[in-house]
Amino acid sequence: MTRGVTSAPARPTSLAERHPRLALLLWVLLALTLVPASMLVLERVGGEGTERRVAMVMDEFALAEQASYLGMETLELGLRYQDLGLSGVALYEDTVETAALSGRIAALLGREAYALASLLGEERPAVAADSTLVRPLEPGAAERLLSNTDPPPDALTLAGETWYAWPGDSFRTRPVGVDRAKVEAWAEAGFEIAYRPRNFPGLVDVGSDYPPEARYLVYAGLQVAGHPSALEEVVEVSQGYLTAIIEGTPQDGMPQVAGRVPTVRLLSFNQDHLNQRLRPTEVVEKYLLAANERNVSLFYLRPYTEEQLGDMLANTEALVAELRRALERAGFTVGGLELRDVDYSPSPRPRLAAALGIAAGLALLALAFPAPWGALAALAIAALAVLSAGLSWPAAALVAAIVFPVLGFALLRHGPLALIGATGVSLAGAVLLVAVGSDRASMLAIEPFAGVAATLILPPALIAAQLMLRWRRPATWVRSLWSHRVRLGDVSVALAVVAVLALVVMRRGNFPLLEATEAELALRSALNELFVRPRFKELLGHPLAVIALFNRRWPAWATGPLLVAGVVAQASILNSFSHYHTPVLVSLQRSLIALAVGVAVGLVLVPLVRLVVAAVSSWLRADQAAQR
């Protein structure tokens, strides 16, 4: 009787290997949908325009605070910065408090009115102790105040004068209207005016007093003036201005208004953050990056009002002058922005074709896994997209951002050129993503991309799962992991993977939880001087993928994590294009630059890594031989 020989369990095969014709059919379908999708992308590129113009305005409140420290008049200090390149000033709508401080009106609380009446021997006013009482000191100073809210104030006589009273203490919040003298003074001095209206309950005739000298509307606080009941009035009166969409500051009512008025993207920095953490060179770099990569064209500056980082005047002068020079070196013109708006409305049929291409990509992802795991993964991705964005174009875009970074490394042969092929697949996905997701609202960032965090976390998780399932069956993994003896090396690898994923999450967005290091800031600055800055995740992930692809004989546990890092870089490509407010050609340029730099760095690292591996292996073999 012949004794049987135990053979190793067969490696699980993917559905693509079992059904190559189906996979080929899906690739062909995907390629065909790229034709109408590319037409939409070209149409969008044409709608983005080529004008490179920015405006720099400075917050007048902060400017007045700095001027008071320096013993100067606010306008005098503003003219000093104007000589260095400042083009405008941001003027707030007055409140009861600020109008009283400027001497335009007199204001009292009810309890202060009680005291005044008592001193004058008059009858105590019939108002609550916390009421707000106002009377004009200049002709017309309170005209807008008396008519801009419903219900109107009560009139009463105190000290022989007529006062107007509202219930409650609204000194700091009740809008008074425009300080015409201030607006005229700044406009005559050659400054562009950014006007900052305020919201308040019961506002009526919203915008009727917006100054005609203003070019921009930058709503103060977290609400658009007139929210929620007077937004139609806001839309009507805002047609002659550029309404600012402030990065990182959602404002109630803005989504309803911004889709119907001319808009401009604005970037500003919190006063405390500026004073305590941001040196002028850092601020300049952030503004330049925003202009180059995020289509921000209204820079809202604040002067330094504290001296933790040095002399406040010198720092502010450096900020204004260096920003002006950096913008002009980058090809921007600093000055007033024209009343121009994004005009892009994609045709539905090419958009539907792009969605069909994304569906083909999702089906290919399902084929990349052994059955039934690919189908389950595809269903989970589709469900996540619907939960995040409903049955909508943004849901299809989210699917593209998750799926296409994985396809190249999951389905293409892992030779030295696989990185080029994987990047090509990712760029094809980017074309479909831009085609299906771009419209006026998304390009203005009125509707942000749904599920951004998932686009950076799920692709590396999917490729890791695909590699593991191609290596062993799930039951085998469960048995081996359950009985596996944990070693220090295993823990180190696991912690490294967790650290990389944490870094990806904490470094995402324009305001990351983990700031860039000084070395990275220096590298960014150097790259910005040469071309559009590539993303750090791509500069890290591409070289690691090159190392894996040039060392295919390494064990899977060694090449697998390197390919996962490569997929992080691919996901970053799709993430770049998902920032619809960034011009498409800028995203393409930074992706190609990152690929070129990443491949070059990887090719340099390959022989170095091989040398290190050979040296360590030789050392271990020698030590093992010595112990025998």
Q: Which residue has the higher pLDDT, 383 or 456?
A: 383
Asked whether the predicted pLDDT for residue 352 surpasses 60, the reply is yes
Measure the CA–CA gap between 196 and 16, rounded to whole angstroms. Answer: 59
The mean predicted confidence, pLDDT, of the chain is 84
Q: Which residue has the higher pLDDT, 141 or 242?
A: 242
Has residue 190 been placed in a domain?
yes
Q: Both 147 and 74 in a single domain?
A: no
Q: Both 150 and 237 in a single domain?
A: no
Has residue 367 been placed in a domain?
yes
Q: Both 361 and 506 in a single domain?
A: yes
Measure the CA–CA gap between 312 and 289, rounded to whole angstroms. Answer: 24
Has residue 532 been placed in a domain?
yes
Strand partners, 56: 299
Q: Both 480 and 590 in a single domain?
A: yes
Give, as one character, the DSSP assignment of residue 484: P
Calculate what percentage of the chain has a pLDDT beyond 90: 41
Q: Which domain holds residue 145?
A: 99-166
Longest dimension (CA), the chain: 125
Burial class for 11, CB neighbours closer than 10 Å (0-12, 13-18, 19+): exposed
pLDDT for 452: 81
Measure the CA–CA gap between 397 and 247, rounded to whole angstroms. Answer: 22
Measure the CA–CA gap between 446 and 395, rounded to whole angstroms. Answer: 16
SS3 at position 386: helix
Has residue 607 been placed in a domain?
yes
Domain boundary among 334, 369, 387: 334
Cα distance from N-terminal residue to C-terminal residue, the chain? 40
Measure the CA–CA gap between 505 and 99, rounded to whole angstroms. Answer: 46
Count how many domains the chain has. 3
Radius of gyration over alpha carbons of the chain, in Å? Answer: 31
Pairing outcome for strands 175-177 and 333-334: unpaired
Q: Both 116 and 200 in a single domain?
A: no
Is 284 in contact with 324 (CB distance < 8 Å)? no
pLDDT for 6: 45
Q: Which of 65, 93, 111 is nearest to 177 (CA)?
A: 93
Reported residue count of the chain is 628
Q: Average pLDDT of 7-19?
A: 67
Has residue 293 been placed in a domain?
yes
Q: Which residue has the tokens 């990152």?
A: 594
Q: Which of 625, 618, 459, 601 is nearest to 543 (CA)?
A: 601
Q: Both 307 and 439 in a single domain?
A: no
pTM as predicted: 0.75
Give, as one character, the DSSP assignment of residue 203: B
72-113 pLDDT tens trace:
999 999 999 999 999 999 999 999 999 999 889 999 998 999
pLDDT for 323: 95
pLDDT for 10: 56
Q: Both 465 and 523 in a single domain?
A: yes
Give, as one character, the DSSP assignment of residue 304: -
Domain boundary among 307, 334, 361: 334
Has residue 249 been placed in a domain?
yes
SS3 at position 446: coil
Q: Which two tokens stand for residue 229?
A: 């009941």
pLDDT for 144: 86
Is 190 in contact with 82 (CB distance < 8 Å)? yes
Q: Both 613 and 550 in a single domain?
A: yes
Has residue 9 been placed in a domain?
no
Q: Both 617 and 595 in a single domain?
A: yes
Q: Both 232 and 308 in a single domain?
A: yes
303-336 pLDDT tens trace:
999 999 999 999 999 999 999 999 998 888 888 8
Measure the CA–CA gap between 424 and 407, rounded to whole angstroms. Answer: 10
Has residue 172 been placed in a domain?
no
Q: Both 428 and 313 in a single domain?
A: no
Domain boundary among 290, 309, 334: 334
Q: Both 204 and 258 in a single domain?
A: yes
